[in-house]
Structure 1
Amino acid sequence: MKYLLPLMLFVMVSTSQAQSVQKQIDSLLQVAEAANDSVRLRIFNKVSFYYIFNDPPRAKALLNKGIEEARERSVPFSEAELVNTLGIYYDVSGDANAAKQYFEEALQLSTANEFPTITVMVINNLGMFHWNKGNYEEALDYFFQALKMNQKNSTDSADGTYLNNIGLIYQEMGMTDRALEYHEKALEVRERHNKINEIPISLSNIGINLRVKGKLDEAESVLKRAIETAKFAEEYGVYYSAMQNLGNVYLDRNRPRAAIPLYEEAIEGRNQMNIERRANLGTLSSLIRAYNATGNTNKALALVETGETFLEEFPDLKNANIEFYKEAAVSNFNANRITEGNAYFDRALIAKDSIFSKDNAEKIAALETRFNVAEKERDLAETRANLAERELEVKQKNNMIYGSLGLALVLALLGYLFYNQQKLKNRQLQKESELKTALAKIETQNRLQEQRLRISRDLHDNIGSQLTFIISSIDSLQFGMKKATKSTVEKLGNISAFTSQTIYELRDTIWAMNKNDITWEDLEVRISNFIDKARTASEAINFSFEIASEIDKEYTYSSVQGMNIYRIIQEAVNNALKYAEASEVRVEVAKVNSVFHIQIIDNGVGFDSEQEMKGNGLSNIKKRARDLEGDVVIVSEKGEGTNIRFTVQEQ
């Protein structure tokens, strides 16, 4: 049990039992109509607690009605009791501010009227409120107060609840040995008083901590017993919790497929029965981990989205966020979503630091010390006959406590310093690794550039000079072969012209090789030079070249991409010069959204595009467009000219 309510006999029920429980509720409300004020208001309180988890709006209405009647008829005990339950309603609904307000109001009413049974319940509920918000120091303080007050004013039969809650705080803080100590004390009290509804709670918590200590066989045995006892007692909240924890044991044993159905049943059961739905975030985190372990990344990512929706509903679940963020980070890293994975990892670290800070640990240790001192003082009051001997014993124990605390503080400080040093070392190593990677990349680029320069020099000095020699030799042959036939002279002229064109193309290739990147400004200059040469060679043709003003001249392509764009334009213009018999050739470059549009248009004789598109020139244009991952369209009809359009997507 977490929240306390006097004389609460209802338990969460399955669908088949819902009608029976509703009949009991209706009967109680009928009894309330004819009962005196005190009994009537106690019934309102009991029924409202049931409705909190099954029909919240009705619970709120009934509680407000009961509080109003208690004030009008001056029944302070019922007023304090109902205000406390209203605080539980708001805490379960996720309205933290309203919950705190009503708990503190109930505490003021109960203490002012000296109602210790209500006071101890309210103090426990305040502890639960702070626990749900991740304020462990405040929660532990209230639980120790409740335990001390119960020991003073009542029997130890209720101690199990407070011992259990103290154990849960240590459990959340990762102090496993301390948690086990308090859970075992709680189990002993509950078994001694035959608390069948509370025994499975302690068994489940013990199983959790045995698993954390790596005692998986013991944990599995205890958790199976918790599931059996919870089902017998019809404690379905504990039943699903123990089922989730058993799934965690299977997950630790690398049996995720055995764990998955347990997690899914727990989540579905809580949702259907509206039992402790807040606990589903922890179950959801474990289920994501299980799907990650089976390699089902898509399912894990879908559950991460479910978890985000869940956190919007319960934003104050600080203590459960850490595991969820960690598993969400793993899921995103598995999907190669590095940015999202890093973001979840950072959120996990922030949540962990906010809960497990050194200040919180020291304050909690001080709280337990304060409680232990108060407990010893009570023992001394009961055994005054041995006062002198007990004083000596207390001094020795206090010295041991202070010595242990001092040692713990020293160890904590050393651990903190070591952690910071290791963290700094890891950062330095990471920076060194990044620097080495950057240097290696620069060195690789430098070597690649040197290789390009060497190849371009070889092309220019060797192949270029050889091609020039060929042209010179052909010219000499033409001059010396005065009696050669006209056909021979034309062939030699064609070879000379082809060789000259090869030299121009070689120079273009060398230009591209000497650049890592080619901008639109580079392309504009190169295309303009080419068109100027074409204009000189074909004076009868009117050439034009336009590049739209909205195009960023600094936009870059790789040298291969830039050369492909240039070659497509060059090939298209050459085709127009050779075959089109055009009087006008236009080259236009524009940009629409993120796509570059390049057109080469002539007003020549055109051709039948369905019959004559098998030449090497047009095939080369299409191949280069495919290499650019672009599209090319060639539109031509006889007597209507030719329009070659191709597009290039912005990178």
Structure 2
Amino acid sequence: MIILKYIFKFYIPCILLITAVTVVLCVRKPYKKQTVNRVVFNERYFRKISGTEKEKYLDSIVTSLNDERNDSVSRDLYLKAGEEYYYLNNIRKSFTSSQIALNLSREAKDSSRIAKSLYFIGDCYENSQKDSAYYYYLQAQKIYTLINDYEKLGRMHFNKAYVLFYDGNFVECEIELTKGLNYLKNSDNEKLLYSCNTLMGNCLEKLFMYEQALKYHQYALGNLKEMKKNNLDSDEVNNFNVSSVINICNLYDLKGEYSKSIKELNAVLTKDLKKKWPRLYANVLSNLAYSKMKNKEYKNVEFMFLESLRIVDSLDYRSDAIYKKIYLGEFYLAQKDTLMSLKTLKEAYRSAVEMKNTNEILRTLRLLTKIDNRKKVFYANRYIDMIDSINSIRSKISNKYARIEYETITVEDENKILTKKNFYILIFSFAAFLILLSIFGFVYLKYKNKELKFVKQQQNDSDEIYQLLSEQNEIINKAKEEEKNKIARELHDGVMNKLYGVRMNLGFFNTKLDDKSIEKRKEYILELQNIENEIRTISHDLSRDSFLEGSDFNTLLSNLIANQKGLSRARFKYIIEENFDWEQVQNIYKINVYRIIQEAVLNIHKYSRALNAEVKIQLSEDKILKLSILDDGIGFDINTVKKGIGLSNIKERANSLKGNLDILSGIGKGTEIIVMFDITR
């Protein structure tokens, strides 16, 4: 024991010291005399010269840096050159300078500049290869995480979100922006916060979350107020403000609040805007004209569209001209000028095809299908082909960014393993020379190493178990919430409606003692037993298709309407298009049609005071199922009446299947509910 203690006390420190010295001698490069860095970037001079002269000046700096030593000044100058090349739209030179800065920074193990170089390289790929841009932003993000640079972390999440947004991956975009804003919550970089909030608003708009989108655009306006307080460039702030107003007014238009949009856009449509930013002025002008058109205020609208189109044509902004022509075509269509509408939309279609602008191509095809009867089938087939092509492409790339992150982590793990193996090879090779003197120490080190590995493995296993438990709890909570919602809908739409019907009928027949009334009461008592079985079914197995099994759906609907007789003064009529085949309709659509009819019929009994009601089912274009529920009751003002759970359920069911819901009513004019589903989706 004394000898072992002696070895541990003296030999092991010697072994570790000798090993460390050997490693340093193996990796250390021979000293090379270097010159003093004399290259300087003259910011003031650079801002005064023209674009061509700026590029020549940057070329001279990059050339001079070839003979300079690798220090922080040289690396910063390469990064500065890469940044300025990028602003001059010379992506090739920007990439080259940023790549040199990356190599030098890695050589010097300069983490912050490695991350910055990766960030700049990602910018170079942003418009050409989005997956490569995403990869480099991800690499920069990892380094900024290690050095705890939260503002740069927020920017990397924003850059990744920007790539995802313009690749149509809006859900992942929202996730990245949420992470970025979380890192930036204590930041005073109002310009970056403005960009994040604006992109979040646009992303949520694409996800049809209009109220939340409006909230983030309001946050962006708050960032602009802080920028004004900090005396930032007033022209730039005004430019941002106009862009935010346009974004907010787009949301107003989507929500049908055209008067709000008109008011906001009129406020920013100034002569100063036309003079300094004609393109922005043209966008505001065309958006204002569109909002007025939608609000049925047609005065000067045509002139406004033509003026905005003239401005962007003079500036050669062809993409802007396309959507303005689409607006103009919609205006002519609203004015019943089919020929001008057709001509304008065809011009927009040709331009969109030439520029490969997918969104505008689809929009023009959709409009041309409605108005060009002669080529209606051609445009419809073209539209369907493009939709199929887009869906096919999106299905291929939907998970590519997740794969990039996974593959990056895999490569990094493999590199770590290789590095670790090489390190052990070096240690054990050197230890072989001292094996006779340090056998006990070697055993001890090996034992300790195994112990550390075991502890680390235990920790990793514990972390993995904790992660799995957390994920499992999250899944369970989500499932519980879904089940609660499902039970609520089933109880409200199915059981409650049936109970109400039975209660009304029993109340009606309870005062009568004739044989017919007694038989009717027996039927409704039997119906109560059926309701009891349905409640038991809901509690044991929430199967959404159970009530369809073994039944003809048309018979179910006929019985549903027939059973309404006597519940109120209203006389119900059920109409279905001849040869309508319910077997071709998926059960999910049948369930929702049945529940919507139940809800609407119950509302007619409760509120309408109608004498006649009609339930009508039609099929148009072999794919659009149209459900109409009409009554001649007292009606209501749809703008003032608070929507109860019944109308909310109808709307929720229509939205869940991407259907269209229209409610037409007025005081004393009865009510019509129209729901349309595309049953081919």
Normalised by the length of structure 2, the TM-score is: 0.43
Give the structure, 1 or 2, with the largest relative contact order (CA under 8 Å, sep 6 or more): 1
**TM-score of the aligned structures, taking structure 1 as reference length:** 0.45
Larger radius of gyration: 1
